[in-house]
Structure formats: C-alpha cells, structure tokens
C-alpha cells in the first residue's frame, strides 16, 4: 500500500463517516468508497462496516489502521529528519500547551512564528498538565508548555510568571470574603494549582468557604465571576481589558510575597535539534525579550 492509502484509512478511522472523510480528503464520496473497496480487496477482508450512523471498524480494520498510523508516524519522522538537513524551516511543529496559555499567550507567539516561517506547519493540542506530560512521554509532540512546578529532567525554559488575584465585582479587601454570602467559584485542575489555593485559603482564614461552585473550565469560572455570580481566584494571564471593571486583590503568601504561577517550556534534547523547534524557541526568546516576564 502507498502512504496515500494509509492516509485515507487514517482519516476514515478518525472521522468514522464517509462524507466527513471525503471532505477532508478533497474527493467525492463515490470516489472514496471505490478506493476503500480496492484497499479492502488488497487485504482480502472488510476493514469497515457501513451503518446508517456511519462507519464501524472490524477487528481486521483495527489491525490495519494501527499499521497505517505507525507507517504515517514513521514517515513524518523521516521527513522531519530530512528537513533538518535543509536550510529552510518546514516540517510540523507539534505543541501540547496548557489551555490557559494556549488561549491567552501562545497565539501572539505563533503569529510571529507563522509570519517568519510560512513553510512550517503547526499541530497544537491543549489540555491539563498531566495530558501534556503524557503527550511528551509518548513522543506525540515536540514541545510541552506547562503551568506550575515541574521536575522535568530534560531541557526546559522558564517563560513567565503571573500573580494570582482574588477577583470580584464587589469585594475590595481580602477579609471581606468572610462576610459575603456569595459563592466562591472554583475550576477543576489536575495540577498543583488547586492545592495551592486550598493551602492559601487555610493559612489566611483557618476555615473553608461558606458556599462554593465548581466548574470544569477556567474560562467558565472567569465568565461567571465577570457576570457577578460570585468571586474567584484567577491568574493574571486571564485578566485582560475585559477585567478593567473588576476588583482585583493580589494573593500574598509567606514574607508578604505575592503568590505566582510559573509557566515552562519543556522538551527532549532530540526534539530541540529539529529546525522547526529551534526556530520556535528563537521566536519565543525574541518575544520574551520585548515582553514582561511577569503579568
């Protein structure tokens, strides 16, 4: 089989829908169906079962799709190695990034990268720290951008730090938290962020919040706070012009120092040797040279 046929199977397995797969592959559905039939003839078995709801993989199909993905991944790595010998920067830059950074900081850096290196492609996934580390460990990405502390043993670059604020429409002093009946809005996190907030809260008040609302995303938490539903503790990176009418009280820890969150760029030595990764790090360093390291 050719790599284009492997690519066709990979897209079908991702979409599990003939129409959507045809759109992604820029072919008609009849043409795609005919190509799939030819591939199945080559293997001498059905790879997909057609249903009213879409496609379902057969056990044979699962094996062939696994092979297709392995071949495509190896081809991509060979292309990257070949391109690293070229003077121009192309290839795919694969990044796994903390959602909050992907929404508020990374787009500006990527804009500069795309402007300088138009031949390079970008693959970006966002999520929690554990998901980003998993992507790095499994060699699915070149670079991980994480929040908080990390014991990563490979190369890492400190990007910036930002202060944590208690944010509300009404509360002007930290001690007023104990007087309000309005809820404390928290967002879920698998990093040490949640624990940091809990530790600070107990040090400051020696009690628990009267009323809490827990949401699954920081952006939801932010919007609920900005709409006056309750108060939240948010990092400065999320507080742009839209927060100008909000009360923002910086959290302080030991020795009256502000509580801050660090953001790091991580990767393996082998990834840092790729031209597209080197180019991205140069863009990041140039960006940091002109921007404050603290929000």
Half-sphere exposure of 9 (CA within 13 A, CB side): 29
Global confidence as pTM: 0.69
Residues 58 and 181 in one domain: no
User: pLDDT tens digit string along 1-49?
Assistant: 688 999 999 999 999 999 999 999 999 999 999 999 999 999 999 999 9
Number of domains in the chain: 3
**Domain containing residue 31:** 3-84
User: pLDDT tens digit string along 232-260?
Assistant: 999 999 887 777 889 999 998 777 788 88
Contact predicate 243/226, CB 8 Å: yes
Residues 99 and 129 in one domain: yes
Residues 156 and 13 in one domain: no
Residue 172 in this model has a pLDDT that exceeds 80: yes
Residues 47 and 100 in one domain: no
Provide the pLDDT for residue 185.
94
Contacts 24+ apart (CB under 8 A), 191-196: 191/128, 191/129, 191/130, 191/146, 191/147, 191/148, 192/148, 192/149, 193/147, 193/148, 193/261, 196/148, 196/164, 196/259
Supply the DSSP symbol for 173: S
- CATH (domain of 110): 3.40.190.10
Domain end marker among 67, 84, 101: 84
Residues 240 and 172 in one domain: yes
The lowest-confidence range among 10-24, 50-64, 201-215 is 201-215
Residues 148 and 211 in one domain: no
CA angle, 115 then 118 then 121, to 5°: 115
Residue 84 in this model has a pLDDT that exceeds 90: no
């Amino acid at each position: 089989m050719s790599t284009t046929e492997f690519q066709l199977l990979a897209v079908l397995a991702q979409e599990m829908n003939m129409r959507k797969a045809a759109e992604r592959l820029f072919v008609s559905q009849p043409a795609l169906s005919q190509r799939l039939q030819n591939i199945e003839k080559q293997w001498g078995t059905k790879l997909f079962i057609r249903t009213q709801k879409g496609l379902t993989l057969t056990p044979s199909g699962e094996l062939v799709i696994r092979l297709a993905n392995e071949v495509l991944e190896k081809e991509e790595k060979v292309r990257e190695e070949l391109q690293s010998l070229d003077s121009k920067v192309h290839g795919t830059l694969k990044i796994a990034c903390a959602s909050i950074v992907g929404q508020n900081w990374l787009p500006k850096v990527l804009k500069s990268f795309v402007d300088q290196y138009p031949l390079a492609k970008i693959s970006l996934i966002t999520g929690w720290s554990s998901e980003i580390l998993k992507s790095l460990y499994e060699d699915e990405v070149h670079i991980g951008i994480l929040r908080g502390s990390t014991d990563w043993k490979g190369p890492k670059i400190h990007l910036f730090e930002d202060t944590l604020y208690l944010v509300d429409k009404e509360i002007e002093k930290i001690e007023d938290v104990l007087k309000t009946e309005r809820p404390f809005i928290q967002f879920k996190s698998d990093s040490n962020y949640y624990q940091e907030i809990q530790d600070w809260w107990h040090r400051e008040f020696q009690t628990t919040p009267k009323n809490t609302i827990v949401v699954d995303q920081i952006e939801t938490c932010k919007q609920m706070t900005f709409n006056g539903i309750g108060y939240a503790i948010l990092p400065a990176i999320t507080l742009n012009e839209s927060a100008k009418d909000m009360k923002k009280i910086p959290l302080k820890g030991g020795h009256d120092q502000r509580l801050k969150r660090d953001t790091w760029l991580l990767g393996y030595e082998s990834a840092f040797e790729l031209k597209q990764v080197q180019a991205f790090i140069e863009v990041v360093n140039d960006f940091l040279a002109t921007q404050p390291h603290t929000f």
